[in-house]
Each structure stands twice: as structure tokens, then as C-alpha cells.
């Protein structure tokens, strides 16, 4: 009997359950999709390194899912609380008719079970199809072959069922406790209680509004001037940003109302007077939740934009970072280490059939210290140890630089004895190089004044490297312009392998040869080949792709969760207020307001309520993304436009969908008799 009654209630109140149901189904869909990565390996041609990365992604997602489950738990309880509030009068009638609260609790438990079961089924089914899409995206990110077939992750399903079963259990307990707390009088007269305004004095509102703008303005300025160091000052930036946001929404309602009232034609046009007073009461009483929504939207925009931006940045940088199949870099500590290093094939008795071509890049020290540009470097990179500024600009011979350019399929350059060429391969130092080229126009190197020949330059690495840039501040001069006794910083041995050689096996082969050489040299008291590092293009690409995949999915997962949570909170608040304001709209109808005009007023009210926190979050994120971008450029040249386009599309789709559903639900509540 009670189960049948619960089933009838769900059918009867399906439109009321729509937001609740969609939130549950969407949450389950995301939860399953982002925990099904391990099953994707079955249909992709992954190397061992890529498979390890997928395992790492899976582990990170499982850790994040604990946090996500807690967020979703609070979100679902919040949505459930809205349903209970909507049905207080109905529950009061049950009590008035003599039904014990234990039986009413049982009905609520059954209803929760029915809705939970339906949303679990729809969510898992949707998650199954979304996970197929994620498989295609993952294969595309790794650039591997995909043997497409539908895959189902039993482990992800089990984890999802357990997580949401616990959430539903908490809801059932919550419903029982909250029902026992309510008195009959509270249930019967629930629709007659209204929220009180927090701030009534317009002058206080104006003062707080000005104060909030000043605090936010100072926070933006402080964050932007700190640049890459802004993350080290979050203990200042975050509290000020939160305080400014809270004061903004606390004061905005009264300030906005007075501002619009100053324009009589606008204030008295159609139902604007009614709508603005509705918004004034709503924002003033819910300023804290709107502030939380704004901050969550900031996190969502930041996570989505940074994830997609970093992915594109890494992909754009890979080609520049891997000009050779294999690079061995030796950091020079003393001159004796240079013995025969210019011919590694003979030195280590390598198999020449493995090597298609080889070249060397010698990086010399100059007499120009980095300290000369300390202020500019600190502005771009932040503070560094004094020893860093004692290093010198790097000098490279013209012949070796032109060999590098040929590898990048660029035309060689020519320099006279009085000219030099300045460049960098570090994106974060590009502004400094541009300043040197345009403002200084000449450098004093090795006691000779050289004119800077170039007005532009290409980002060229001295060899394949796991770092995004090997040349920080580099100067190219004619070969004979470098004194013979000039100390070396490092030497790069760059190798293009033949078709018969595998880069991973070649690296292992090289490590064995160097170890054998050092053992023999040590026994004969000869110079060792130490202080070296080696890397392959395959290794750099795999690890870069791995970081790209991890950051993309972390940004997507957290961004979608925060976006959905923000939209749900706003939607439920407005639908709850629709119930409270039903009598007021009934009076408008009796006064002769047309249905079309009422619908327009509802749309206008929801638009302001939904997009006020979004607009402020966008302003926050413009500053925040610029700060984060100063770190992202460490991985290469970023593409903020495309990242913003992708983020905007996702927000428009999800946030806009919740807005339209709320609009339809609001009208449905007012239309009910």
C-alpha cells in the first residue's frame, strides 16, 4: 500500500522531481564515466608507458571521486531538502488525517528508493555511452590506434552504485530526522513563511558596494602584479577575493534597486518594479549562497579552461621540444671531461648502423651575466637565488646554430663579424628577448660591441629535452668570434636514428655503453663521462601526452561537477521561491497582468539571478586565468582563445540547460492550482 502510494506520488510530482532526477542522473553519469578509464586499455594500442599513465589517471580519478562524492552528497541532500520543503503542506495533510510519522517516513524512503533506482539506471546507461566518447578522446590525446568496441567497466559500475547507495541511505535518514523535527503547524502553514531582508538601509548597501569594488580591484591588481608568484600568495588573494565577492552580493540588491529607481521610465515599465523588488528580496536574503555559487563557477571556469589550455599548449610545444630522436647532454665541470667528446661514436664504440645522423651543439659561457636583466627576469619568473643571476648568457656558434635550423627545416642565417643573433626557447622569457631586440639593439660580448641583427626569431631548442626550453638567453655569433679559451656550459649530442634502431632500446644501449666506458676509465684513472643526462623524443612525447591527459580529465571532471553544483543551487532556490511567491503572482493575474507579460518577468528575474554570479565569476576568471597562464607558458605557447571557446560552450550547454529547466519549472509551479 505505502509503496504504491509512493509510486503514485512520484508519477504525480514528476515535474517537481525533474531537477532532482536530472541532477542525480547527470552525477551518476559523470561518476561512472570518469572512473572507467582502466577498461579503455582493452581497445587501444598503448605502449607500456602509456598504459602506466592510464593507471595513474585511474588512481587520480578514484582519489578525486572521494571528494566529488562528498560534494554530490551535499548537493543531493540540498535538492532533497527542496523537495521536502515543496511538500510540507502535503505531509501536513497526511499527519492531519492521522497517519503516523513513521508511516510518512516509510513513504519518503520508498520515494527516495524509486527515484534513486530510476536515476541510477538512466545515469549508468548515459555513463556507458559517455565513457565510449571518453575512450575516443583518450585515444586521440595519446594519438594511438583504436580498435573500437563497446566496453563496460564493472569496477566503475560497482564503485558508482556503492557511492550513490551511501548517498541515498544518508538521504533516507535525513528525511526521517527532518520529518520528526517539524510540527504540524509548520507543515500546514509552510507557504506563509518568508525570508527576511538582511540589509534595509540603502546607504549601507552603497558603502558596502563601493568597499567590495575596492577590495576586488586591489585583489585583481595584486594578483596580476605578482604574476607567476601569485600562487605563493594565495593566503592574501583568496580571503580578499572571497570577502569582496560576499560584500558585492550583500550590497548589490539594494544598490541595484536604487539605481534602477532613478530611471522612472525603466522602473515603471511593464512589471519591472515587481521583478526588481523580487530580486532585491531574493539576493539580499541569499547573498551568501550566491557568493558560494560565484566562487564555484570561478573554480569551474578555471578548471575547464586550464585543462583544455594546457592540453593544447603541450601539444603545440611537442614538435619544438623533440627535434631529434635522442639527445645526450653533458654539463661541463672541468676541461678534462671534454676528451674525445666531439666523437661519441668512436668514444663509446657504438654501432654506426644505428645512427642516421649526428650533430653537436656547444653552449659557451659569455661575459654578460643574467644579473644585468635581474629586474626583468624577476618580473617574468619571480624571485630566484643569487647564484642563478651569476650565470651568463649562452653563446652558440653560427655553424652549429644553422645545423639546428636545418633540423627545424628553417633557412640558415648569415652574420657579419659585427653582428649577433639573439633568441630564446623559453616561452616565459620571450618578453625579455623582445625587449633586448627592440630597445638595446646591440650587445657587448667578449669586449666587442655587436649589433643585434634580428628583429624576430624562432623558438629553437638546442636538442630534444623534457624541458620546454633549453636556451634561456642565447646569443649566436660567428665561429671565430668565440675565443678559444671560452669555458663551456654544456654540450648536446643530437642523434637521428636509423630505421633499424628503436629509440627506447637505443637509450638503454647508450646507458650500458657509458657505464662500461666509465668503469674502464675509472680503473685506468682517466676522465669519466659524468654529469650527463639523456632523453628520447618518444619518452618526451609519452610523458607530455600523459600530463596532457591527466590535466584535461581533472579539469573536465572537477569543472563539470562545480558547474552542475552551481546551477543546481540556483535552480532550486528559484523553484523554492516560486512556491513562496505563488500568491503574489496570483494577485498580479487578478490585477490584469497578461500571461505573456508574467512569463517575460519570470524570464527576466531568472536571467538576472542566474547570470549575476556567472558574470562576476567570469571577471574573476579573466584575472585568475591570466595568473595561471603565466605558469602554463612554462610548457609552451598557450592558446587562451580556443580554451575560452571550449569553456564557454560547456557552460552554455549545462548552465543554460539548467536555466531553461528552471524557467519551465517556475512556470509550472505557478500554473498549478
Give the model's confidence band at 631: pLDDT under 50 very low, under 70 low, under 90 confident, else very high.
Answer: low
Residues 270-296 have pLDDT tens digits of: 666 677 667 666 666 677 778 888 998
* Mean pLDDT taken over the chain: 79
Task: List 451's β-bridge partners, or say none.
Answer: 419, 442
Write the pLDDT tens digit of every residue in 182-195.
Answer: 555 454 544 544 44
| 229 has pLDDT over 90 | no
- The pLDDT confidence band at residue 338, using thresholds 50, 70 and 90, is very low
Residues 286, 292, 296, 298: is their CA dihedral positive or negative?
positive
pLDDT at position 355 over 50: yes
Q: Is the pLDDT of residue 673 over 80?
A: no
Query: Cα angle at 662 between 657 and 663, to 5 degrees?
Result: 100
Banded model confidence at residue 326, pLDDT cuts 50, 70, 90: very high
Distance CA 514, CA 599 (A): 78
Mean pLDDT of 317-331: 83
Q: Is the pLDDT of residue 503 over 80?
A: yes
Order of strands across the sheet that contains 442-445: 442-445, 448-452, 419-423, 474-477, 392-397, 355-369, 488-497, 326-331, 532-536
pTM to 2 decimal places: 0.75
Reported as a pLDDT band with limits 50, 70 and 90, residue 255 is low
* Mean pLDDT in residue range 535-560: 83
Per-residue pLDDT, 391: 79
Q: Which of 38-52, 198-212, 518-532, 556-570 has the lowest mean pLDDT?
A: 38-52
| Mean pLDDT along residues 568-581 | 78
Q: Higher-confidence residue: 669 or 659?
A: 659
pLDDT of residue 435: 84
441: exposed, middle or buried (Cβ count in 10 Å: 0-12, 13-18, 19+): exposed
Distance set, CA 296 to CA 18, 110, 564 (Å): 23, 33, 10
Mean predicted confidence (pLDDT) in 605-634:
81
Tens digits of per-residue pLDDT, 423-478?
Answer: 988 877 888 888 888 887 888 888 889 999 998 888 888 998 877 678 888 999 99
> Where is mean pLDDT largest: 7-16, 266-275, 378-387, 480-489?
480-489
Mean per-residue pLDDT for 165-190?
Answer: 67
Amino acid at each position: 500500500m505505502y509503496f504504491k502510494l509512493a509510486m503514485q506520488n512520484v508519477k504525480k510530482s514528476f515535474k517537481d522531481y525533474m531537477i532532482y532526477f536530472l541532477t542525480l542522473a547527470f552525477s551518476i553519469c559523470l561518476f561512472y564515466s570518469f572512473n572507467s578509464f582502466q577498461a579503455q586499455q582493452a581497445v587501444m594500442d598503448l605502449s607500456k608507458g602509456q598504459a602506466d599513465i592510464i593507471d595513474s589517471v585511474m588512481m587520480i580519478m578514484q582519489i578525486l571521486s572521494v571528494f566529488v562524492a562528498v560534494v554530490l552528497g551535499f548537493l543531493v541532500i540540498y535538492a532533497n531538502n527542496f523537495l521536502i520543503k515543496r511538500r510540507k503542506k502535503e505531509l501536513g495533510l497526511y499527519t492531519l488525517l492521522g497517519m503516523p510519522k513513521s508511516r510518512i517516513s516509510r513513504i519518503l524512503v520508498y520515494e527516495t528508493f524509486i527515484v534513486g533506482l530510476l536515476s541510477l539506471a538512466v545515469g549508468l546507461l548515459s555513463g556507458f555511452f559517455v565513457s565510449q566518447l571518453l575512450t575516443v578522446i583518450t585515444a586521440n590525446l595519446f594519438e594511438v590506434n583504436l580498435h573500437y568496441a563497446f566496453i563496460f567497466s564493472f569496477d566503475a559500475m560497482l564503485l558508482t552504485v556503492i557511492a550513490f547507495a551511501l548517498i541515498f541511505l544518508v538521504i533516507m535518514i535525513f528525511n526521517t530526522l527532518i520529518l520528526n523535527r517539524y510540527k504540524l503547524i509548520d507543515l500546514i502553514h509552510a507557504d506563509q513563511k518568508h525570508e527576511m531582508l538582511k540589509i534595509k538601509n540603502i546607504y549601507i548597501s552603497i558603502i558596502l558596494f563601493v568597499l567590495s569594488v575596492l577590495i576586488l580591484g586591489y585583489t585583481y591588481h595584486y594578483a596580476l602584479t605578482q604574476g607567476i608568484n601569485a600562487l605563493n600568495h594565495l593566503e592574501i588573494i583568496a580571503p580578499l577575493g572571497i570577502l569582496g565577492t560576499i560584500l558585492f552580493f550583500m550590497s548589490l540588491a539594494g544598490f541595484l534597486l536604487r539605481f534602477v529607481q532613478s530611471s522612472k521610465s525603466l522602473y515603471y515599465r511593464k512589471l519591472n518594479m515587481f521583478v526588481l523588488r523580487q530580486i532585491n528580496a531574493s539576493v539580499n536574503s541569499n547573498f551568501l549562497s550566491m557568493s558560494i555559487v560565484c566562487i564555484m563557477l570561478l573554480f569551474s571556469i578555471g578548471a575547464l579552461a586550464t585543462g583544455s589550455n594546457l592540453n593544447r599548449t603541450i601539444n603545440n610545444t611537442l614538435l619544438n621540444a623533440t627535434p631529434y630522436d635522442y639527445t645526450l647532454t653533458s654539463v661541463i665541470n672541468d676541461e678534462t671531461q671534454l676528451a674525445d667528446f666531439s666523437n661519441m661514436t668512436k668514444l663509446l664504440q657504438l654501432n654506426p648502423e644505428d645512427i642516421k645522423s649526428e650533430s653537436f651543439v656547444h653552449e659557451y659561457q659569455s661575459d654578460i651575466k643574467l644579473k644585468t636583466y635581474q629586474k626583468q627576469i624577476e618580473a617574468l619568473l619571480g624571485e630566484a637565488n643569487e647564484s642563478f643571476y651569476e650565470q651568463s648568457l649562452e653563446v652558440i656558434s653560427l655553424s652549429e646554430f644553422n645545423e639546428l635550423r636545418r633540423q627545424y627545416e628553417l633557412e640558415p642565417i648569415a652574420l657579419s663579424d659585427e653582428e649577433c643573433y639573439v633568441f630564446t626557447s623559453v616561452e616565459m622569457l620571450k618578453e625579455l628577448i623582445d625587449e633586448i631586440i627592440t630597445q638595446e639593439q646591440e650587445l657587448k660580448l667578449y669586449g666587442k660591441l655587436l649589433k643585434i641583427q634580428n628583429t624576430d626569431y624562432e623558438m629553437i631548442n638546442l636538442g630534444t629535452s623534457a624541458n620546454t626550453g633549453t636556451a634561456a638567453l642565447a646569443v649566436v655569433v660567428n665561429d671565430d668570434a668565440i675565443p678559444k679559451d671560452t669555458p663551456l656550459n654544456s654540450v648536446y649530442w643530437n642523434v637521428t636514428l636509423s630505421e633499424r634502431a628503436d629509440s627506447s632500446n637505443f637509450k638503454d644501449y647508450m646507458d650500458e655503453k657509458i657505464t662500461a666506458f666509465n668503469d674502464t676509465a675509472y680503473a685506468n684513472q682517466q676522465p669519466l663521462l659524468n654529469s650527463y643526462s639523456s632523453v628520447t623524443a618518444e619518452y618526451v612525447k609519452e610523458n607530455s601526452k600523459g600530463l596532457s591527459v591527466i590535466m584535461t580529465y581533472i579539469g573536465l571532471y572537477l569543472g563539470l561537477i562545480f558547474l552542475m553544483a552551481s546551477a543546481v543551487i540556483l535552480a532550486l532556490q528559484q523553484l523554492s521561491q516560486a512556491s513562496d511567491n505563488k500568491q503574489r503572482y496570483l494577485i498580479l493575474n487578478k490585477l490584469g497582468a497578461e500571461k505573456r507579460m508574467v512569463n517575460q518577468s519570470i524570464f527576466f528575474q531568472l536571467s538576472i539571478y542566474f547570470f549575476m554570479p556567472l558574470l562576476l565569476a567570469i571577471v574573476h576568471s579573466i584575472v585568475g586565468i591570466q595568473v595561471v597562464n603565466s605558469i602554463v607558458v612554462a610548457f609552451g605557447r598557450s592558446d587562451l582563445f580556443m580554451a575560452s571557446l571550449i569553456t564557454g560552450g560547456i557552460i552554455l550547454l549545462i548552465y543554460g540547460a539548467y536555466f531553461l529547466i528552471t524557467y519551465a519549472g517556475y512556470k509550472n509551479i505557478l500554473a498549478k492550482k
